[in-house]
Amino acid sequence: MGITVPTSVADCVSLGRAACEFALENPAVIVTLVLGLLIAVAASGYLLLLLVAHYPRPELPSEKLYLTILPSGETSAPLPLPSTTDYLPTTTTDKPTPPTDPLNPPVLISVIVPAYNESLRLPLMLSDAVTFLTTAFPPPPTSSTTTTPYGWEILIIDDGSTDSTSLTALTWARKNNHTNTPHSSIRTITLARNRGKGGAVTHGMRHLRGQHAIFADADGATKFADLTALLESLSTSSSDIAVGSRAHMLTTPAVVQRSKIRNLLMYTFHTYLSLMMAPLADIKDTQCGFKLFTRRAAAEIFPRMHNEGWIFDVEVLLLAKKLGYGIREVPVTWHEVEGTKMSLVRDSVMMAWDLAVLRGGYGVGMYGTGTGQQQGR
């Protein structure tokens, strides 16, 4: 029997009536077809999410090593990085068991600096950071044998740079290798392949020695003196995370005088974020690159990370909320620095896409709060 193709309006009307009659006479068939279609759409969406989900790659052996400047002024041989979990307390007290490695004593503050092709901007940032850190976190007395944490460390995570980022950091450290900069306080870690800002920060947070850890951008856009306010916000509350915020600067020249397209994208992103991530609605500035964590919070959050791009800050805060950590938002001083590696339009589109993937991944339970780094393939 051949198939009749409608050739007129009357034929189409007749075909529609026949379809309606069939639906009324066979509701079970229609329901089955609709359910089958919905299941197919859902399965296709889940498979698509599997394909585009973020799977961080495992650390390579060479990425578990660091270089530093020896007291003699020479560059060290590659040395093994410690693990953040080595410094977690083994009892109910908040005092960690000191590592047996004398090269890696615990410190008060760890600074994680993700750096991709930052040979030009890094020296100014290091100067500002070290000037503050040497005053706020002095080294232990020379004759001291106590295991109480003293001092600080800066971890420069060279994210597969094609310039002399690591060499620049080591050269700066050599020139400033004095008594206020204890041996091994400035360390460079080179990633074999570029992972993205989020991947670089995550790598550093997995290998720190500090009671607290802060990640800061290599451009020095935020003054390190503001670290005092972040630390105070934690000491006066039960929170474990303090995030720098530029929300108070929306009407200042630093923001108003930026290009119209940049501000338009900023406001569009904030609106999109509030729609996609309701749990973060109370945080006014998720993207400021100046965030402070207790050691415990860093050890629990960062091994669970999936995203390694610009949007990683959102996942950090989302995981913190899911794990029950309190977050304080603290105003900081910020100024725009030329030389950003971010492509305004391209990376804005990528951030929107990554945010949708994050929303989908956590929404369907694909990500959960398991260890993201162990899920990587």
The Cα–Cα gap between 106 and 188 comes to 18
The candidate with the shortest Cα–Cα distance to 286, out of 252, 322, 247, is: 247
CB 310 within 8 A of CB 342: yes
Can you say whether the dihedral through the CA atoms of 319, 98, 107, 178 is positive or negative? negative
Q: Are 234 and 335 in contact (CB under 8 A)?
A: no
What integer pLDDT is reported at residue 375 of this predicted model? Answer: 41
Around Cβ 55, how many Cβ atoms within 10 Å? 12
pLDDT in tens, 200-226: 999 999 999 999 999 999 988 899 999
pLDDT tens over the chain, length 377 residues: 556 666 676 767 677 777 677 667 777 777 787 788 888 887 777 788 888 888 898 999 999 999 999 988 899 999 999 999 998 876 555 555 556 577 788 899 999 999 999 999 999 999 999 999 999 998 776 655 556 778 999 999 999 999 999 999 999 999 987 656 677 899 999 999 999 999 999 999 999 999 999 999 998 889 999 999 999 999 998 999 999 998 776 666 655 456 666 667 777 888 888 888 888 989 989 988 899 999 999 999 999 999 999 899 999 999 999 999 999 999 998 877 776 776 777 888 888 899 999 999 998 888 877 665 444 43
**Distance, CA of 70 to CA of 182 (rounded, Å):** 10
Tell me the C-alpha distance between 48 and 62, whole Å: 33
Q: Distance between CA atoms of 288 and 250, rounded to whole angstroms?
A: 13
